[in-house]
Amino acid sequence: MLIKRSPNGIDLPFSSEITPREMYESRRNFMKQVAVGAAALGGMHEAFAQNGPKLAATLNPAFSAMDKHTAYKDATTYNNYYEFGTDKSEPAIYAGSLKTRPWTVSIEGEVKKPMTLDLDALLKLAPLEERVYRLRCVEGWSMVIPWIGYSFSEIIKKVEPTGNAKYVEFVTLADKKQMPGVGSRVLQWPYTEGLRIDEANHPLALLTFGMYGDVLPNQNGAPVRMVLPWKYGFKSAKSIVKIRFVKDQPRTSWNLSAPNEYGFYSNVNPDVDHPRWSQASERRIGEDGFLARKRKTLMFNGYADVAPLYAGMDLKKFY
């Protein structure tokens, strides 16, 4: 868990205090369900594998990491999704309350063709691809996941940004009725993230609808999210409801919460430590537990194709 510190150096309360009380008090009972839930998820995935894909996509070999895939049960039970709790196990426990249909995403701002699309229209906007991406968390752990989606550049082409569009802002769902973590003091809601428009237009930036051949599980950002494999995981906004093309750099949730720890760019950079820990190495989830030897963190998480986006920039200043 990431612990926010106030500007005067006094720590904010621990999880029992920043998590809604009813959720915290019931946590011990729900924790007993985690092992059962993980087994059920694994069983569901095995059944899916036998019955065939539910979200048809063509594998794109140009965007396929060669690393061993993270096990489905690990990828779906060890998550950061603070709308459903701050512990890694809580999203899988609580995200069942999220209703992903009907779902619409509005695309607005500095564009010639603003539009509001439902989920089916979004799915049909461009051919779906499967891409195997590494995703690294700022906390020092990583996974390798086969995602399903298409380049966000397809959206950019459809809406035709004006010359004033310099950034893209992503706004996510914030519904207290469905998301028990919304309203806690850990972040400002709704969760927002942003990219420079050339970053959003890079082929690696994936508007994502599925993983492991199936639709996204709720705890992994259903029904639509971003995946940006060269940035830390928190940049990949989940459960998106609004996409805004804007002139000025948008204020993003983690940067608002702790600007000395989370910059706007948040590229994976082993040479820029988090104020409270090193970013030089990482732990791959599923590799022999917490005692496994850590991997060396790669610049841009190993996706060197994005380096030209930052030519001439001081990546320690623009962290």
**Binding site for Mo-molybdopterin: residue ranges?**
79, 82-83, 137, 172, 220, 225, 236-238
Nearest Cα residue to 146 out of 129, 133, 128, 127: 133
CA angle 221, 59, 121 (to 5 degrees): 50
Neighbours of 49 (CB within 10 A): 13
Containing 33, the helix (H) or strand (E) segment is: helix 27-51
CA distance 201 to 57: 21
Q: Rounded to a whole number, what is the distance in angstroms from the first to the last CA of the chain?
A: 21
Residue with token string 């979200």: 55
Confirm if 186 and 84 have CB atoms less than 8 A apart. Answer: no
Q: Whose structure tokens read 């459960």?
A: 239
Question: What are the binding residues?
Answer: 79, 82-83, 137, 172, 220, 225, 236-238
Report the alpha-carbon distance of residue 75 to residue 143 in Å, rounded.
7
What's the one-letter identity of residue 1? Answer: M
Helix (H) or strand (E) holding 246: strand 240-246
**Distance, CA of 49 to CA of 283 (rounded, Å):** 27
